[in-house]
Amino acid sequence: LSKIIGGGTPSRNELSYWGGDIPWLTVKDMRSRRPAAAQEHITERAVAESATSIIPPDTVITATRVGLGKVVRVPYAAAINQDLKALIAGPGLDKSYLEYWIVSIAAFLESIGSGTTVKGIRLETLRQLPFPLAPLAEQREIVAELEKHFSRLDEAVANLQRVKANLKRYKASVLKDAVEGRLVPTEAELARREGRSFETGEQLLQRILGARRTQWNKKGKFKEAAAPVVEGLPKLPEGWAWARLDSVAALKGGITVDSKRADPTASMVPYLRVANVQRGYLDLTEIKQINASDEDAAELRLKFGDILFNEGGDRDKLGRGWIWENQLADCIHQNHVFRARVFLPEMVPKLISWWGNTFGKDYFQRVGKQTTNLASINLGKLSEFPVPIPPAAEQLRLVAEIERLLSVVDRVAIEVDANLKRAQSLRSAVLAKSFEIED
C-alpha cells in the first residue's frame, strides 16, 4: 500500500546543521492539518549526515510519539524528526483516504501507545495495523462523501464559534454598560422622578471613609485616604463618585509559599493560588494546603465578600479576580493573590470585581512591572486603582440586573459548548462508519 519513512534529529551541537532552507517538522508543527510553515529549518548537510529524510510535498505524515494520531499534509518538501512517520501512498491508494483513515483511528493509536512519560508506538506496530482497502474509485467516493459531511459540520461549528464570540462580547458590553451607568435607571433619575432626595455616591464615600477611620488597626498614625487620579477615566453618571480602591477596602497580601517555613506548631490550611483565581470566577478543582501559624491563618482567613486580585503571572492575567463566597472553611491566600475587604457592606464587592475585570484589565497591564518571564503589580498600584462609587440602592439594582443577564449568557454558552461536543462526536462517528468493513 505505501512505504513508511522515518526521520531523525540532526545534532544540536553542530551549528552548520541548523538555520538552513529545509523545513524540519516535529509534533510542534502539527497544530493544523495543513501547517503553513515549520518552526525550525535545517541544511542539506544535516540531511546528509543524520537520520532525517526529505519527504515529498503533499505526503501524509503522522505522529507515532507525543501526539499519537495527529496527521498532516504539507504543500512543500520537508524533513521530519524521529517522532513522525511519512506514509508514501502507492498507486492504488488515495492520499486523502489514507489521511482520513489515520484520523479515524487516532483514539485507537492513543490507546495502544506505550511509554512511562510519553506514549508512542513502534514502526512495526504501525506497519501491522489492519487497513480497510477499498477499490480506488470507492476510496474517492468515500473521501468525497466525508468532505461533504465535514463541510456542513465545519460550517455549523464556525457558526457556533461565532455565537460563542458574540456571547463573550455581549458579556463584556453588559459589564461596561453597568459600570458606566447605562444598564439600569440611575438613582438620580428615580429620585427626580419620584420627587425625593437620595444618598449620592460621594455621600456614601464619606460614610465609607468614616468606617475606614474607625477600623484602622495598623501601626502608626492614621493615613487619610488620597484622592484618585481621574485623568483619562470615563465620565461618571449623575450621583456617582470616584475613589481609590484603598479608600473603600482594606488591602492585604498573602502568605509566602516556602518549603523552609515549616513550623512544628503550625497546622495545614487550604490556600488560594493564582491558578484558582480566574477572571470572573474561582477554579477550586485543585486546592493546595500550606503550613500556617495560628496567627497567619487568622490574619489571612478569607471572609465572605473578600475581593481577590492576582498579583502576577502573564501580563494579561494581572489583576484578574473574583470574590470569595465561603466555598471552603478556613481558606487563606498566598502572596501572589491580594485581598480587598470593603469597609462597609453598602459598597458591593461584585461591582468592584466586575470593574476590575473590565476597565481594570487595561489599568493593571499599564501599571504592571514586567520582568523576563513574568509581570506583576504591587500593593501600591492596586491601592491606587480607581473605582466608581454608585449610590447604594443603585448598586443593588445593578448587581441584580447584571446577574440576570449573565445567567442568560451562561445558559446559552452551556448549550453552545454542548453542541460543539456533539459536532465533534458526529465527526468521529462519520469517520468510524466510513471505514467499517462489512462482512
Contact, 347 vs 389, CB < 8 A?
Answer: yes
Least confident of 3-7, 47-51, 400-404, 409-413: 3-7
Burial environment of residue 63 by CB neighbours within 10 A (0 to 12, 13 to 18, 19 or more): buried
Confidence check: pLDDT of 401 > 60: yes
Question: Mean per-residue pLDDT for 353-372?
Answer: 88
Question: What confidence score (pLDDT) does residue 263 get?
Answer: 67
The model's confidence at residue 1, banded by pLDDT at 50, 70 and 90, is low
pLDDT digit string, tens, across residues 5-32 = 999 999 999 999 999 999 999 999 999 9
Residue closest to 82 by CA, chosen among 16, 26, 14: 26
Q: C-alpha distances in angstroms, 119 versus 51, 82, 127?
A: 21, 14, 18
Query: What value does the mean pLDDT of the chain take?
Result: 92
Span between the terminal Cα atoms of the chain, in Å:
22
Amino acid in the structure at residue 162: R
Question: What confidence score (pLDDT) does residue 438 get?
Answer: 59
**β-bridge mates for residue 84, sequence order:** 63
Which 3 state secondary structure label does DSSP give 199? Answer: coil
Question: What confidence score (pLDDT) does residue 417 get?
Answer: 96
d(CA 28, CA 261): 40
Q: Which domains does the chain have, with CATH numbers?
A: 2-133 (3.90.220.20), 135-197+391-439 (1.10.287), 199-218+225-390 (3.90.220.20)
Confidence check: pLDDT of 202 > 80: yes
Confidence check: pLDDT of 148 > 90: yes
- Sequence-distant (6+) residues with CB within 8 A of 12 are 18
Question: What confidence score (pLDDT) does residue 115 get?
Answer: 78
pTM score: 0.74
Annotate 266-278 with DSSP letters as a single string: -EEEEEE-GGGB-
pLDDT digit string, tens, across residues 309-354 = 999 877 888 899 999 999 999 999 999 999 999 999 999 999 999 9
Question: Mean per-residue pLDDT for 167-190?
Answer: 89
